Chain A
Amino acid sequence: MSNIIIDHVSKTFTDSETEVHALHDICLKIDSGDIYGVIGMSGAGKSTLVRCLNYLEVPTEGHVYIGDKELGALSESELRNERSKISMIFQHFNLLMQKNVIDNICFPLIIKGVSKKEARKKARELLKTVDLTDKEKAYPAQLSGGQKQRVAIARALASEPEILLCDEATSALDPQTTSSILGLLRRINQELGITIVIITHQMAVVREICNKVAILEHGHLVEHGEVDEVFLNPRTRAAKTLLKYEEAESDG
């Protein structure tokens, strides 16, 4: 199984004039089977960090290890191959709008060279997993946000990944739908043993589903550990602010 090791990762975006330091010297270990939350205010570098885990963003410094493989040492085609073991879901679902549900789920299999017949068979099984069997022929535009995210999850599972990265996957959904999507993610984690990394700005999401959490602030990793521990004894200002923010939200 695959641990994720983030080893002194920094990322700087260089424009012609300005430099933006999105991540500073991040070290983090995510164990196989974890549901790991990465939380922070917007602009904290969460999205950049999660994209370093599948090398959609290449770190400026440092290394990322998935199991015993260092992503930076892989060739382009090895990296593409490795990416099929690290699936990703997104805030805005990012489904192909001109393809129906079943063809969307088949997509990662088709690009790996699986035959259409095999891909469809697998996709139908996955539709059962995400509880959408009756929507096989529907197009994304005909689905609700929660249904679209279920399709995206089925698509992410098609390549039988070891890791699932969730980039603000519930931020565009209402609380009830959020809760059902989180339930599905928990089931995937337990039944399939997939390691899940969840990027979010919602404390409630971390509280509901994660066993560990890391807090990012202005590109720095300020606190990390077991969720209970971090939430009971927040040591840093960033953690305290996030917790206070949550209280205000639930009170309001």
Chain B
Amino acid sequence: MDNSAYIQLLGQGIIETLIMTLGSTFLGYVLGLPIGIILTVTDKDGISPNPFIYKILDFICNILRSIPFIILLILLIPLTTIVVGKSYGTAAMVFPLFVCAAPFIGRMVESSLKEVDPGVIEAARSMGASNFDIIFRVLLVEAKTSLIVNATITTGTILGYTAMAGTVGGGGLGSIAVQYGYYRWNTQVMVITVILIIVIFQLIQNIGMAIASRLDHRK
């Protein structure tokens, strides 16, 4: 294999990794954000306590989060085949990554929203705010910095998980590192993939933190 072939291979790996990371994080938020909001609202100190709903969601989140990702990946193969049409490849891996990300994101969102000063929520209620107003005009607004910081952490974590997805045929940089580094003892390729993953991680981290601090007006 000549250099241009390697470059093409690694370029492909980068794209697959980004698709898996950003795709599953995005889908994770589509489900995880409402989960986090519902957990916050229905908790016993929330604005509309509902022990039944809280306990069900809490239980599902805990179960999914307690299964190690590599095992969840294998457990989900039949379901992945049904949902995506096949159980291998980059597109297929977005599904188990999403299943893993959503409850994690739900917890992250819950912890961000619970940081909001109860005094500000009370002030909004005293002005006649509805629960809808409090969620969308108080909680999500006041917690935005924390939400963005947590989204950055989540994206970084999911990036790590894509490497695991690589071991079961997920593609991406993780898959390249395993194939060339583990099976073929090609240290050079493995080192390059590791460096690329580090660079992507740093980019995500720096961009996320920069956005968060730019939007923060608390100081």
A binding-site residues for B, Cβ under 8 Å = 54, 56, 80-84, 86-88, 90, 92, 94-100, 107-108, 110-112, 139, 141, 155, 159, 165
Contacts and interface: CB of A to CB of B under 8 A. Distances in A.
A155 B128 CA distance: 13
Interface of B: 117, 119-120, 122-130, 133, 137-138, 141-142, 144-145, 215-219
A83 B127 contact: yes
A141 B128 contact: no
Contacts of B137: 107, 110-111
A54 to B, nearest CB: 6
Nearest to A54: B126
B24 to A, nearest CB: 29
A64 B144 CA distance: 38
Given A54-B126, A141-B219, 13 more contacts: A80-B129, A82-B128, A83-B128, A94-B120, A94-B122, A94-B123, A96-B141, A97-B142, A98-B141, A98-B144, A100-B217, A111-B133, A111-B137
Contacts of B125: 56, 83
Contacts, number: 75
A80 B123 CA distance: 13
B128 A95 contact: no
Q: List the 3 closest A-B pairs by CB distance, nearest first.
A: A94-B123, A83-B128, A80-B128
A107 B127 contact: yes
Nearest to A80: B128
A144 to B, nearest CB: 15
Nearest to B117: A94
A155 B124 CA distance: 11
Contacts of A88: 123, 126-127
A107 B138 CA distance: 10
17 contacts: A80-B128, A82-B128, A83-B128, A84-B128, A88-B127, A94-B122, A95-B123, A96-B138, A97-B117, A97-B142, A98-B145, A98-B217, A111-B124, A111-B128, A111-B130, A139-B217, A139-B218
